[in-house]
Amino acid sequence: MKEIRSRPDLAINGAPPAFADTLHVGRPNVGSRETFMRLAGEMFDRQWFSNNGPLVQEFEHRIAAHLGVRHCVAMCNGTIALEIAIRALGLAGEVIVPSYTFVATAHALYWQGITPVFADIDPRTHNLDPDAVRRMITPRTSGIIGVHLWGRAAPVDALQGIADEHGLRLMFDSAHAFGCSYKGQTIGRFGACEVLSFHATKFFNTFEGGAVVTNDDELAEMMRLMRNFGFAGYDHVIHPGTNGKMIEVCAAMGLANLAHIDTVIDSNRKNYHAYRDALSGLPELSLMAYDEAERNNFQYIVLEVGEGCRATRDELVAALQAEGILARKYFWPGCHKMQPYRALYPHAGMVLHNTERVADSVVVLPTGTALPDGAIATILRIFQVLLSDAA
């Protein structure tokens, strides 16, 4: 890749660093600082910081109501939530997952001695391709984890059909999909359970946090046990467990943010439309479209660099970074090329053509409520300069 330096002729150059510093993928959205401070103050007054406190209970109640599901089991982060859901569902042997996802999806399995088996994606949706899933089923397969990547729903019905046909458990990694829908129904009710992440970089955050949502009473009860060392009451441990609890201060952040999610969605939608308009004149770069007939949180601005583009994906990322804009190559290079999977399955790429092509072409751009005015125009200008230099 040719060396790319900051350009003095770009508008962003010489601007106060504060401007560029806010242009990071993953800048947190903050709903109401005042509400958070009030709730945190009450928490100090109560001197109850963890272990199923009143804020966590209210948070769980509000999330379940918001999603229209019976249970929300709040956890300390999305990864532990995945691990507990996987264990509570009794998954074992092999579980089929996409490789094109954040590595936590695969690690949550491997960490528990389960083999993640990577199936290819549909290049149009970036989600699991049901035919590829079928091809990966073996006698050792116990389940499928679909990922609603970028908040766009996985092929829920097709995956459920495969799971039913083969007697497999189906769950979803819905880390990106809080507030999104599939065929008009809120994500959170599909499969045996769905796992949410409320990490700081997510559209809705609790600093760190996660949850499993489900309509299955027994499963919810089991996960509540597992996240608290298996304790039933003060003295009795009736199951193996871990520490997966959400703490009160995180629930306070969640409650303070939940009241403002419509504002965040409006802001993200506005940014998405502005990107779409700005980039429409650059046919070499295509912006991943959200289906506006569904509910979306628009948290990921996903750009695909076409094969005939005058600059490579890595050059585009480097050009942005040279101006202080931290765009990301999510989810490059695909889990199958990360350790330990790279060493375990050196030939996995042979059945993951779409995964590799998509992973090599995506750039994720900054959005969120903190995106400064003029940022999208600046990003467009950087692309225009780079592409015309390359012509």
Residues in contact with ligand T4K by CB under 6 A are 24-28, 77-79, 101-102, 104-105, 147, 173, 175-176, 197, 199-201, 210, 326, 330
CA distances to 69, 169, 219, 256 from 77, in Å: 20, 22, 19, 18
What 3-state DSSP class applies to 95? Answer: strand
Give the residue closest to ligand T4K by C-beta: 26
When the beta carbons of 126 and 295 are compared against ligand T4K, the nearer one is 126
Nearer to ligand T4K, 145 or 163 (CB): 145
How near is the Cβ of 45 to ligand T4K at its closest, in Å? 27
Contact 184, 191 (CB under 8 A): no
For residue 53, the surrounding DSSP H or E stretch is none
Could you give the CA distance from residue 336 to residue 343 in angstroms, rounded to a whole number?
9
CA pair distance 160, 82, nearest whole angstrom: 19
Closer to ligand T4K at the Cβ: 119 or 309? 119
Say how many CA atoms lie within 13 Å of 385 toward its Cβ: 19
Give the phi and the psi of residue 113 in degrees, each rounded to 5. Answer: 75, 20
Which run of H or E residues covers position 211? Answer: strand 210-214
Report the residue number, 11 or 326, with the smaller CB distance to ligand T4K: 326
In angstroms, give the least distance from the CB of 166 to ligand T4K.
Answer: 24
Q: Which helix (H) or strand (E) holds 88?
A: helix 78-88
From residue 334, alpha-carbon distances to 101, 356, 363, 373 in Å are 7, 7, 14, 33
Q: Is the dihedral of CA 298, 108, 144, 67 positive or negative?
A: negative
Rounded to a whole number, what is the distance in angstroms from the first to the last CA of the chain? 16
Q: Which is nearer to ligand T4K, 21 or 157 (CB)?
A: 21
Of 55 and 335, nearer to ligand T4K (C-beta) is: 335
3-class DSSP state of 207: coil
- Closest CB 77 distance from ligand T4K, rounded Å: 4
Nearer to ligand T4K, 29 or 361 (CB): 29
Judged by beta carbon, residue 309 or residue 375, the one nearer ligand T4K is 375
User: b/e per residue, 119-158, with b = 16+ CB within 10 A?
Assistant: bbbbeebbbbbbebbeebbeeebbbbbbbbbbbbbbbbeb
